[in-house]
Chain A
Amino acid sequence: MEQDRYLSITALTRYIKRQFDRDTVLNDVWVRGELSNVKLHSRGHMYFTLKDERSRIQSVMFSSHNSKLAFRPENGMKVLVRGEVTVYEPYGQYQLYAKEMQPDGIGNLFLAFEELKKKLEREGIFSSERKKPLPVFPVEIGVVTSKTGAAVRDIFTTIKRRYPLARITLFPVYVQGELASESIAKAIKQANELRMHDVLIVGRGGGSIEDLWPFNEEIVARSIFHSEIPIISAVGHETDVTIADFAADVRAATPTAAAELAVPHVLELNERVNERKARLIRAIAARLDAEREKLARLQKSYAFRYPAQLIRQKNQELDRLIERLTREAKLQLNQKYEQWRNINKSIHRHHPEKLIIQGKERRKQLTKRLAREMQQLTNRKKMLYQQSISKLDALSPLKVMDRGYSLVTKDDVVVKSVYDVNPGDMIQVNVKDGLLDCHVWGLEESKNEP
């Protein structure tokens, strides 16, 4: 048997795949077609069929590539795709693996979009510092959109449901077509001149890239940028991103989302009021409890409950103090008395009475002695005197004259020598009972006298 001639399906598929991969045209192919069966997988990969009048090709664009798309691929959309064609082995199917995709026929719009975006970005129109915060409790809400259509209805019903306090003002504008961008910009300017609104919602519902185009116009972006009223943009569906979205203060995915961002929910507000009220009551209750407890503590305090007892206690304390004072005073007194006694004793010991008696005695004796001495001295002196008198008496010249001696004087001077007088001189001779005036006749010197 010729079993070896049969290939396995896997081997065959691999062979076919190699043929595809070897082909330079299929490695990098540019195709034009219409999208159908567009499916976005939950993991972000996009599956679709590309077709024209006669043929179709199964295609896939992985999330790494389709996340960069600046538009939302939709069924029926004509697109230009660049990618490679290869075989998906499990299904034995050849597929186009798309890497780039552009809407066909509006390629110029895309270029314009990218250029405008870059330009405005450079000017700082998208800068986050320039974005205004949304009011927390808006009262007046302006809506710039078409008077008809899903967008205006979604916005009105959402706001009314969430926040009946608000009043909504609609600025009806064209949201597609030639006149749209101008009318949108004008309405934003008008709202700013009125200066009545707390926040503006600018947008429209979903549509084709061409439908949304007015929101990619420079005039709209600039009017949004210059608005003093905070603006929420809401253009198309979640995947649609326009220049207006970049310029707006807040971008909402859809008009409904814009309404939700614009106003708080009334229930939420009620909840907030309730929460504050509860905190208020809790705070005052806690405060009152604390004060009450403080008061109770004071009332329960010992002094407050038993004032009499406190007085008794104080009385007792006072008694004890007086007792102590008395005891101390006595003690002090005794000590002082003892000191005094000691001192007194010593004073007595050293009393001068004895000294006085001794002194008196001594004085007596001394007086006696003095008298005695005096007597003796007097006696002695008396005796000496007597002796002297006798001696004096014995020596008296009168006594000598008694015995015949006389005293010769010349002019009251005693003559002791012959040389004291001259012959012819007058002299006096004193005798016992008188005086003789005599005249000297001559002199004779004694021979034996030297």
Chain B
Amino acid sequence: MSHDLDTEKQPSFEEEMEELETIVEQLENGDVALEEAIHLFQKGMKLSKSCHDKLKAVEEKIDQMIDEEGEIMPFTIQEEE
């Protein structure tokens, strides 16, 4: 479960998006104290940057193939001429 380990280390894009949405809604409702609002805003900006970074700097993920024996090997599509 390699990607489960990854998500333990740092939040996934999905989790960050959800948190960002929650923060935006809290701020839009406007019922938080000003200091808290500024704190939330800073956190939200960090999250949106992190989301952007995740989308932008995509490391080329090596796709793979798992055969019937469970053997894992890299796999790439040969583009047709």
Mark A residues whose CB is within 8 Å of B: 135-137, 139-140, 147, 152-153, 156-157, 164-172, 183, 186-187, 190, 194-196, 266, 269-270, 272-273, 276-277, 279-280, 283-284, 286-287, 290-291
Contact = CB atoms under 8 A, between A and B. Distances in A.
Interface in B24-81: 24, 27-28, 30, 34, 37-38, 41, 44-45, 48, 51-52, 54-55, 58, 60-68, 70, 75, 77, 79-80
B52 A273 contact: yes
A276 B24 contact: yes
B38 A270 contact: no
B3 A172 contact: no
Given A152-B77, A277-B48, A279-B28, 13 more contacts: A137-B14, A137-B17, A156-B63, A165-B61, A169-B65, A169-B66, A196-B3, A266-B55, A270-B55, A273-B55, A276-B24, A276-B44, A277-B45
A177 B36 CA distance: 64
A190 B70 contact: yes
A164 B34 contact: no
A135 B15 CA distance: 12
B78 to A, nearest CB: 8
Nearest to A138: B14
26 contacts: A139-B3, A157-B79, A165-B58, A165-B61, A166-B61, A167-B61, A170-B64, A170-B66, A171-B66, A172-B65, A186-B68, A269-B51, A269-B55, A270-B52, A273-B52, A276-B17, A277-B48, A279-B27, A280-B20, A280-B23, A280-B27, A280-B44, A283-B28, A286-B30, A287-B27, A287-B30
Contacts of A273: 17, 20, 48, 51-52, 55
Contacts of B77: 152-153, 156-157
A276 B20 contact: yes
Contacts of B1: 195-196
B27 to A, nearest CB: 4
B77 to A, nearest CB: 4
A283 B55 contact: no
Contacts of B44: 276-277, 280
B16 to A, nearest CB: 9
B24 A280 contact: yes
Contacts, number: 107
A273 B55 CA distance: 10
A153 B80 contact: yes
Query: What secondary structure prevails in chain B residues at the interface with A?
Result: helix
Contacts of B2: 196
Contacts of A186: 68
A169 B66 CA distance: 7
Contacts of B28: 279, 283
Contacts of B58: 164-165
B61 A170 contact: no
Contacts of B48: 273, 276-277, 280
Nearest to B49: A277
A135 B62 CA distance: 21
A195 B66 CA distance: 13
A266 B13 CA distance: 12
A272 B27 CA distance: 17
Nearest to B21: A276
A186 B60 CA distance: 29
Nearest to A196: B1
A270 B79 CA distance: 27
Contacts of B68: 183, 186-187, 190
A269 B17 CA distance: 10
B63 A147 contact: no
A272 B48 CA distance: 10
A55 to B, nearest CB: 41
Contact of A165 (B27, B55, B63): B55
Contacts of A277: 44-45, 48
Contacts of B30: 283, 286-287, 290
Chain B CB within 10 A, most for which of A139, A166, A283: A283
B21 A172 contact: no
Contacts of B41: 280, 283-284
